[in-house]
Amino acid sequence: MQLFVASGAALGFLAVALGAFGAHALKERLAGSGQQPAFDTAVRYQLAHAVVLLVLPHAFASQGAASDWAGWLLLGGTVVFSGALYIRAIADRRSWGMVAPVGGLALLAGWALVLVAAVTAR
């Protein structure tokens, strides 16, 4: 579970760095291509799920498979969802927008398992 805390910290750091990079260095490029909303969504989802990964091990210490799987799905889903949107926005590759829903499904499954872990908590 410490892996999720470390991953949450790394994702949080990168979300802040990428958000600043997008707001300053890429501002004109993203606005000109109309990709600013996609980039902002990637940063927002990444940061939100980074916080969840930081808290998850503390909320469900020793809860077993549901919380472990939730962490993996949230981590993988964040990387795929936000990563696809970053590629779409920065490289202006709109086809990568079709990859984002795969990450979104992983995020939904992760949240469902957080609910299972909470309901079955000892």
Tens of pLDDT, residue by residue over 21-58, are 999 999 999 999 999 999 999 999 999 999 999 999 88
Distance from C-alpha of 104 to C-alpha of 82, rounded to nearest angstrom:
9
Task: Express each pLDDT in 88-98 by its tens digit.
Answer: 999 988 899 89
**Tokens matching residue 22:** 């997008």
In the prediction, which pLDDT does 63 show? 66
Question: CA-CA distances (angstroms) from residue 101 to 16, 32, 84, 86?
Answer: 23, 25, 9, 14
* pTM, two decimal places: 0.93
